[in-house]
Amino acid sequence: MVERPTDASPGGPGSSKDDEEELARRLERLGESLETRRAAEEAENRKGRSSGFAQATKVASEFVAGVIVGAGIGWGIDKAAGTSPWALIVFLLLGFAAGVLNVLRSEGVVADAGARLREAEPKETRRPDRDGDRPAP
């Protein structure tokens, strides 16, 4: 059995003009709020995509540069010293390791050694005298 709304229910034929105006104002405010939020989310998504692509390009180029520089140094040493493929192999592997290290540094997994030394505060170490009653100067 289907129930029909009574005249006393909100939005029915018996609702007042003030209730309808209040509802219209609330709907208008809600629509404005949704539009503002949707525009902000779209702007954030556009900005996030471009910076993510830029970060990926930077990381990839750092890795490839490490490998190419290592191979170039190894090839140059092989030409100068006549050691055929050995310097190329060694420096290619070193370039690969340097590329991986650059990627890890840019992603924040591995801290730069200089940054770690700058962040470390000199700790004062006090050793007791031989009697153990007072700290050494």
Is residue 3 situated within a structural domain?
no
Is residue 124 situated within a structural domain?
no
- Using pLDDT thresholds of 50, 70 and 90, give the confidence band for residue 10: low
Q: Is the pLDDT of residue 85 over 80?
A: yes
What is the rounded distance in angstroms from the CA atom of residue 52 to the CA atom of residue 22? 45
pLDDT at position 12, please? 53
In which domain, by residue range, is 54 found? Answer: 17-119
- Give tens-digit pLDDT for 12-60: 555 688 889 999 999 999 999 999 999 888 877 776 665 778 888 989 9
Q: Which of 112, 77, 73, 110 is nearest to 95 (CA)?
A: 73
pLDDT at position 127, please? 58
Q: How many domains does the chain have?
A: 1
Q: Which two tokens stand for residue 43?
A: 């702007």
pLDDT at position 13, please? 55
